[in-house]
Amino acid sequence: MKNTNNAVLSYYNSLTFPKHTSRPHFYTSFVATLDGKIYVDKPGYWPIGSKTDYEVFTTLRAYADIIIDGKNTASRFARHTIDTIHSQHFLELRKKFGKTDPINYAVISSHPDEDLVHAITNSHGFKPLLLTSKHADPLLFQDYFIGEQVFSKGTNVDELITFLHKEGYKNVFIDGGPTLLAAFIEAQMLDDLFLTLAPRIFGSEEGKTLTMVEGRLIDPKASRFHLEKVMDENNELFLHYKC
């Protein structure tokens, strides 16, 4: 028996996340095709999921205190993310979840460029956090970002967690991209994975498609997930894994 739209959304609107004493709670959400594609750099392949999937994605973000993107993901989607977190619908969701403080949005990059600046330029007067290395000068982009020198070099998960915990963030939504997510999975610091499987198969083309994790093989011992909930609606599967 298929779940109704209300049953699917009811589950995602009634989640509770545990509170950790020494670090934030980290979670993520993706929609993927049956062959594992989360993004295709070609017109006509987006959106992958249904309106219900998009509402699930928006709802999950509303629980967060901060959304974090890598540079490449931000360059593609930052403006849409910024518009979403300022929308009335999103603000009402957060109010329902008891979130009275504004959500923050951060981009990880030691080499911000004009493409990234263009992507985060918005009409809300909003400046994302720029989480960068101690070798970069965040003041170079102070007109567009609030700079924080977090990393000694590269992207270090432990340094990021320390910064987020010190700043008081409790729920952290890891938006992407595949390299950042891989780092959290390898460090066994991803707590919840929400995945929608869409009834599509896209195949692949070099340089055009992405899967959830790219650029490295993860130790099988670090990637065991436990299925918490599964629902189906209109041929889509909505999966909640504990990590």
Dump pLDDT digits (tens) for 216-225.
889 888 788 9
Identify whether 200 is part of a domain.
Answer: yes
Containing domain of residue 71, as a range? Answer: 22-236
CA distance 72 to 54: 21
Q: How many domains does the chain have?
A: 1
Q: What is the mean pLDDT of the chain?
A: 93
CA distance 68 to 229: 25
* pLDDT exceeds 90 at position 215: no
Identify whether 15 is part of a domain.
Answer: no
Question: Which CATH number is 130's domain given?
Answer: 3.40.430.10
Q: 109 falls in which pLDDT band (50, 70, 90)? A: very high
pTM score of the predicted model? 0.94
Cα 195 to chain centroid, rounded: 12
Beta partners for residue 226, in sequence order: 242
Identify whether 4 is part of a domain.
Answer: no
Identify whether 98 is part of a domain.
Answer: yes
Identify whether 1 is part of a domain.
Answer: no
In this prediction, residues 25-42 reach a mean pLDDT of 97
* pLDDT exceeds 60 at position 5: no
Identify whether 54 is part of a domain.
Answer: yes
Identify whether 202 is part of a domain.
Answer: yes
Identify whether 128 is part of a domain.
Answer: yes
Number of H helices, E strands in the chain: 7, 11
Query: What is the pLDDT at residue 174?
Result: 98
Query: What is the pLDDT at residue 55?
Result: 97
In this prediction, residues 50-72 reach a mean pLDDT of 97
* pLDDT exceeds 90 at position 3: no
